[in-house]
Copies of this chain bind each other. A is one copy, B any other.
């Protein structure tokens, strides 16, 4: 028996998110189906980040156990033959049997993209949120800086959360503009339900001038979802990087 870790990239446009749910197609259900067909036995993966409907990933993580003789490295090739073209395994490797992607210490990086121009650009429409209201990037940068560190992010968490604690550590929160595209980049130890999209929605409010950057401190302190901005649309969000700290796996 060995445990295999998969790095999974996907275009979330046509999926109801990562997590297995009845009657809808999810990344997890498609992965389980492809693995089960390949290995001719029922396989259920354990995923790392349960991304929402419409959210993309360059490298989400999943593990599964198998007695198959196939070398772990070959699973990427074999699975990609069976997966639809909007899901592609980027890497497959053996990990210790105790390796659990949600219990392992890790750093995840998300990017939220905003196209800020007079009109939407068709080739960006699936991967960036569009707004024609001019956003002040310098204010957004100042506001983002308040998020860095260990904080209670209850204000930036959907009220539907089941998390035991809403304290998380953010290592990096930056805002950059390149042409008409604004990229919010957030690296953390873990994220609450809808956390990056609520951060993006709040930074957009700051960028529009509706709130001063310093207000971020008050919003954090309030521990009240109603104090933060709206949840920004899913399509702008991409899980770009997943690094496990303990054994250097990434």
Q: What distance in Å separates the Cβ of A220 from its nearest Cβ neighbour in chain B? A: 31
Give Cα A43 to B9, complex, Å.
44
Task: Please tell me the number of chain A residues within 8 Å of chain B, measured between CB atoms.
Answer: 23
Contact of B90 with A125 in the complex, beta carbons under 8 Å: no
A85 cross-chain contacts in B, Cβ below 8 A: 120, 122, 125
Q: What distance in Å separates the Cβ of A118 from its nearest Cβ neighbour in chain B? A: 7
Give Cα A60 to B121, complex, Å.
13
Interface status of A24 (Cβ within 8 A of chain B): no
Query: A8: nearest residue on chain B (CB-CB)?
Result: B122
Number of this chain's copies in the complex: 2
A9 cross-chain contacts in B, Cβ below 8 A: 119, 121-123
Q: Mark A52-86, 1 if CB is under 8 A from B, else 0.
A: 00001010000000000000000010001000011
A118 cross-chain contacts in B, Cβ below 8 A: 76, 90
A122 cross-chain contacts in B, Cβ below 8 A: 9-11, 56, 85-88
8 A Cβ contacts from A80-124 to B: 80, 85-90, 118-123
Interface status of A238 (Cβ within 8 A of chain B): yes
A86 cross-chain contacts in B, Cβ below 8 A: 122, 125
Interface status of A156 (Cβ within 8 A of chain B): no
Q: Mark A212-249, 1 if CB is under 8 A from B, else 0.
A: 00000000000000000000000000100000000000
Q: A11-B125, A85-B120, A123-B126 are in contact. List 10 more A-B contacts (CB 8 A).
A: A9-B119, A9-B121, A9-B123, A56-B123, A76-B119, A88-B119, A88-B122, A90-B118, A90-B121, A123-B238
* 26 residue pairs from A and B, CB less than 8 Å apart: A9-B119, A9-B121, A9-B122, A9-B123, A11-B123, A11-B125, A56-B123, A58-B121, A58-B123, A76-B118, A76-B119, A80-B119, A85-B120, A85-B125, A86-B122, A86-B125, A87-B122, A88-B119, A88-B121, A88-B122, A89-B119, A90-B118, A90-B119, A90-B121, A123-B126, A123-B127
Contact surface of A with B, Cβ cutoff 8 Å: 9-11, 56, 58, 76, 80, 85-90, 118-123, 125-127, 238
